[in-house]
Amino acid sequence: MLPLATIRELELDSLAEAEGILADGSRVTLKIYFCYVEWFGERIPLQVIANDGRFPLLGTEMLKNRILVIDYPRRRVSLD
């Protein structure tokens, strides 16, 4: 997920719309965009969902074959 303002700034191509169900059970229409990202030295295709939040979210598929370490007391996160 990326904020819509960032999607517009990057001029991403619109791909599709999909229906989503939120945690409260309400249904929303999600706009999906397409781009490529550089990820650990590899260029990969990616679908991006637009949202109204300020913070982007990383899908768990991108964490596949990676090691995620969260050291909460030291406030450090690493991804290898």
Domain span at 45: 2-79
Q: Is the pLDDT of residue 53 over 90?
A: no
> What is the tally of structural domains in the chain?
1
Pairing of strands 27-39, 76-79: unpaired
pLDDT digits (tens, 9 = 90+) for 5-51: 999 999 999 999 999 898 899 999 999 999 999 999 999 999 999 98
Is the whole-model pTM more than 0.85?
Answer: no
